[in-house]
Structure 1
């Protein structure tokens, strides 16, 4: 918060403990940032963040379970095994919950097939 307030003070912006449109735009005009980040900062100018605001919900204990199952599944790729560890009734539940972990497999398989055809 001190950094934000100092930034606003240096640029003679209103120091009110929040990030408002002028602050977002001032941040986007800084040197040393990528064009992608600059565009994102400009898109954020419609968002007003007050001190203490969060852009995500606080983590809960159940999130640890999802983390553990996700890590195990990403390492083993064995849905039936992970289903048993997670205590899901069937593998469909596991797949429906963690399907996004397999999106990279599509590209890995496609690249592998391309290499086979090229040989």
Structure 2
């Protein structure tokens, strides 16, 4: 019986430097992506609905949390929706300038009974 390596030749293995090179390139790309996402333009403020309460057929209250990294006054547009998703009331909530996080409650006068309250936008005043 003949030796197969003599008959067909031996397949060359991957050079030793290839795997470390692939690892270095992969790690470099990961670090570059992480840095790019960390330095993305993040607004100096964010807002979220903390809660809402339907007071009756014509009134809904909404409480919003405002998180800020800068001392800036904001105007937040909020609205109330009915079960049909129709907007039944809206108002603008003025959030005074403050270097801290703030919680603000506002009343939304509604045309019909609302089922939820939502923030549309929060922009600098």
Higher helix share: 1
Classify the TM-score, shorter chain: under 0.3
Structure with greater strand percent: 2
Give the structure with higher Rg (CA): 2
